[in-house]
């Protein structure tokens, strides 16, 4: 997974701070899973500034959700629904506890592999998708391919992808357009649309 990123604001050890929205500054637990790391607050703030015109009422998919930082931030800022897909049982249970503490009804947590989830026929189209897998797994390209091939995206959806800055540039599926590409510390993050 990612190394520490430069400029990351510090939350208390083992806790995730929600940056903005209804639950601004709320601290949530982070599962004790080796290598699990939330997206840095600085990166989340930039990402959601990019998404601000689209987030209210959006249907979101948080693949390789881990701590749920991206999906929870989306809910806090007005997304109507977030499906969290996380393979780790421990991380999924902590995510369920965190969501329950927020008394949020727009969240669905699925304890399954992201690739397996995307390979099945789509049941809904998402407006925003967050892709933040363990960096060493190098799943970003395949997850993007599956999103495009299986009909998981609404028209003009936004797809956020996070990766190690040393990974090769992300090859997007045909017809997708890169909107933003930034680095912060050891993390490169890309926003694209279909």
Query: Per the domain annotation, does 107 fall within a domain?
Result: yes
Q: Which of 179, 160, 168 is nearest to 65 (CA)?
A: 160
Query: Per the domain annotation, does 8 fall within a domain?
Result: no
The total number of structural domains in the chain stands at: 1
User: Other CB atoms closer than 10 Å to residue 140's CB: what's the count?
Assistant: 23
Q: Is 36 exposed, middle or buried (0-12, 13-18, 19+ CB in 10 A)?
A: middle
Query: Per the domain annotation, does 1 fall within a domain?
Result: no
Query: Per the domain annotation, does 103 fall within a domain?
Result: yes
Q: What is the structure's pLDDT at 77?
A: 95
Say if residue 2's pLDDT is above 60. Answer: no
Q: What is the structure's pLDDT at 6?
A: 41
Q: For the CA atoms of the chain, what is the radius of gyration?
A: 15
pTM of the model: 0.89
Which domain covers residue 111, as residue numbers? 15-193
The rounded distance, in Å, linking the Cα atoms of 176 and 88 is 30
Segment 61-93, tens digit of pLDDT: 999 999 999 999 999 999 999 999 999 999 999
Q: What is the structure's pLDDT at 14?
A: 81
Query: Per the domain annotation, does 124 fall within a domain?
Result: yes
Segment 108-164, tens digit of pLDDT: 999 999 999 999 989 899 999 999 998 878 899 999 999 999 999 999 999 999 999
Query: Per the domain annotation, does 10 fall within a domain?
Result: no
Query: Per the domain annotation, does 9 fall within a domain?
Result: no
Query: Per the domain annotation, does 2 fall within a domain?
Result: no
Helix (H) or strand (E) holding 114: helix 114-119
- List the CATH number of the domain containing 167: 3.40.50.150
The two three-digit tokens of residue 58, written as one number: 């959006």
């Amino acid at each position: 997974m990612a190394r520490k990123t430069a400029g990351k604001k510090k939350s208390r050890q083992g806790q995730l701070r929600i940056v903005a929205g209804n639950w601004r500054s709320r601290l949530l637990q982070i599962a004790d899973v080796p290598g699990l790391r939330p997206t840095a607050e600085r990166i989340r703030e930039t990402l959601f500034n990019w998404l601000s015109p689209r987030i209210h009422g959006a249907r979101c998919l948080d693949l390789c959700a881990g701590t749920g930082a991206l999906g929870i931030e989306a809910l806090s800022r007005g997304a109507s629904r977030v499906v969290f897909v996380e393979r780790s049982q421990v991380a999924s249970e902590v995510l369920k506890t965190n969501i329950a503490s927020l008394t949020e009804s727009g969240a669905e947590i699925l304890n399954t592999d992201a690739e397996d989830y995307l390979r099945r026929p789509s049941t809904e189209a998402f407006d925003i998708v967050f892709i933040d897998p363990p960096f060493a797994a190098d799943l970003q390209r395949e997850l993007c391919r599956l999103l495009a091939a299986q009909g998981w995206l609404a028209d003009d959806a936004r797809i956020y992808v996070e990766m190690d800055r040393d990974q090769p540039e992300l090859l997007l599926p045909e017809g997708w357009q890169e909107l933003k590409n930034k680095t912060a510390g050891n993390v490169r993050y890309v926003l694209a649309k279909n």
